[in-house]
Structure 1
Amino acid sequence: MNAVNESWLSAADSGVLRLITAGSVDDGKSTLIGRLLYDSKGVFADQLAAISRSKYKRAAASEIDLSLLTDGLEAEREQGITIDVAYRYFATPLRKFIVADAPGHEQYTRNMVTGASTAEVAVILIDASRVRDGKLLPQTKRHSALAHLLGLRHIVVAVNKMDLVGWDPQVFERIRAAYAELAAKLGIAHFHIVPMSALEGGNVVRRSEHTPWYDGLPLLALLENLPLGGPLPRAEARFFVQWVIRHDGHAVDDFRGYAGRLAAGTLAVGDAIKVLPAGATARVARLVQFDRDVDAVHAGDSVAVVLDRDIDVSRGDLIVAQDAPLRVAREFEAELCWLDQRALSPVRQYWLKQGTRLTQARIKAVHTRRDIQELQDVGAGGALAMNDIGRVTVTTREALALDPYDEQAATGAFILIDAATHQTAAAGMVR
Structure 2
Amino acid sequence: MSPATTLLRFATAGSVDDGKSTLVGRLLHDSKSVLADQLEAVEAASRGRGQEAPDLALLTDGLRAEREQGITIDVAYRYFATPRRRFILADTPGHVQYTRNMVTGASTAELTVVLVDARNGVVEQTRRHAAIAALLRVPHVVLAVNKMDLVDYAEPVFAAIAEEFADCAARLGVPEVTAIPVSALAGDNVVEPSARMDWYGGPTVLEHLETVRVAGAPDLLPARFPVQYVIRPQTAEHPDYRGYAGRIEAGSLHVGQEVRVLPSGRTSRISRIDLLGRSVSRAVAPQSVTVLLEDDLDIARGDLIAPAEAAPEPSRDIRATVCHLADQPLTPGRRVLLRHGTRTVRALVRGIDSRLGLDGLTHHPAPDGLGANDIGRVTLRTAEPLPLDAYGDCRPTGAFLLIDPADGTTLTAGMNGDPAAGPGTAGAADVRPC
TM-score normalised by L of structure 2 = 0.91
- 1:212 is displaced (CA, Å) by 1.7
Q: Alignment RMSD, CA only?
A: 2.1
Per the alignment, residue 79 of structure 1 pairs with 69
Secondary structure of 1:124 counterpart: strand
Secondary structure of 2:249 counterpart: strand
For 1:357 and 1:316, the matched residues in 2 are separated by: 4
- After TM superposition, the structure 1 = structure 2 runs for residues 288-327 of structure 1, keeping only pairs within 5 Å, are 288-327=274-313
2:43 is the counterpart of 1:52:
yes
Amino acid at match of 2:55: D
- After TM superposition, the structure 1 = structure 2 runs for residues 330-345 of structure 1, keeping only pairs within 5 Å, are 330-345=316-331
Q: Quick one: which of 6, 27, 30 aligns to 1:15?
A: 6
Secondary structure of 2:310 counterpart: coil
Per the alignment, residue 3 of structure 1 pairs with none
Per the alignment, residue 98 of structure 2 pairs with 108
For 2:274 and 2:383, the matched residues in 1 are separated by: 33
CA distances 1:359-416 after superposition (whole Å, capped 9, x unpaired): 1112111111111121111135332111111111111111101211011112211111
- Structure 1 57/200 Cα, relative in aligned 2: closer, same or farther at 3 Å? farther
Per the alignment, residue 164 of structure 1 pairs with 150
- Contact kept, 8 Å, 1:22 with 1:103, in 2: the verdict is yes
CA distances 1:60-99 after superposition (whole Å, capped 9, x unpaired): 41x1111111112222212211112111121111111111
Per the alignment, residue 269 of structure 1 pairs with 255
- Contact kept, 8 Å, 2:227 with 2:300, in 1: the verdict is yes
For 1:252 and 1:24, the matched residues in 2 are separated by: 57
For 1:338 and 1:26, the matched residues in 2 are separated by: 24
Amino acid at match of 1:50: A
Identity of aligned residues (%): 50
CA distances 1:252-305 after superposition (whole Å, capped 9, x unpaired): 962111111111011111111110000001111111113211111111011111
- 1:107 is displaced (CA, Å) by 1.6
Per the alignment, residue 30 of structure 2 pairs with 39
- After TM superposition, the structure 1 = structure 2 runs for residues 137-286 of structure 1, keeping only pairs within 5 Å, are 137-231=123-217, 235-248=221-234, 254-286=240-272
- Structure 1 263/95 Cα, relative in aligned 2: closer, same or farther at 3 Å? same
For 2:239 and 2:107, the matched residues in 1 are separated by: 43
For 1:80 and 1:381, the matched residues in 2 are separated by: 36
For 2:202 and 2:99, the matched residues in 1 are separated by: 31
For 1:114 and 1:107, the matched residues in 2 are separated by: 14
For 1:32 and 1:330, the matched residues in 2 are separated by: 45
- After TM superposition, the structure 1 = structure 2 runs for residues 364-403 of structure 1, keeping only pairs within 5 Å, are 364-403=350-389
CA distances 1:104-124 after superposition (whole Å, capped 9, x unpaired): 111211111111111111001
CA distances 1:302-346 after superposition (whole Å, capped 9, x unpaired): 111111111111111101111125121111111121111221134
For 1:93 and 1:87, the matched residues in 2 are separated by: 20
For 1:126 and 1:51, the matched residues in 2 are separated by: 25
- Contact kept, 8 Å, 2:346 with 2:383, in 1: the verdict is yes
Amino acid at match of 2:100: R
- Contact kept, 8 Å, 1:334 with 1:391, in 2: the verdict is yes
For 2:106 and 2:310, the matched residues in 1 are separated by: 28
For 1:138 and 1:18, the matched residues in 2 are separated by: 25
- 1:233 is displaced (CA, Å) by 10
For 2:94 and 2:230, the matched residues in 1 are separated by: 43
- Contact kept, 8 Å, 1:40 with 1:90, in 2: the verdict is no
- Structure 1 174/354 Cα, relative in aligned 2: closer, same or farther at 3 Å? same
Work out which structure has the larger RCO, using CA pairs closer than 8 Å and 6 or more positions apart in sequence: 2
Amino acid at match of 2:251: G
Which residues of structure 1 form unaligned runs of 5+?
1-10
Amino acid at match of 2:253: L
Amino acid at match of 2:351: A
For 2:47 and 2:93, the matched residues in 1 are separated by: 18
- Structure 1 41/234 Cα, relative in aligned 2: closer, same or farther at 3 Å? closer
- Contact kept, 8 Å, 2:316 with 2:385, in 1: the verdict is yes
- Contact kept, 8 Å, 1:123 with 1:157, in 2: the verdict is yes
- 1:41 is displaced (CA, Å) by 1.8
Amino acid at match of 1:407: D
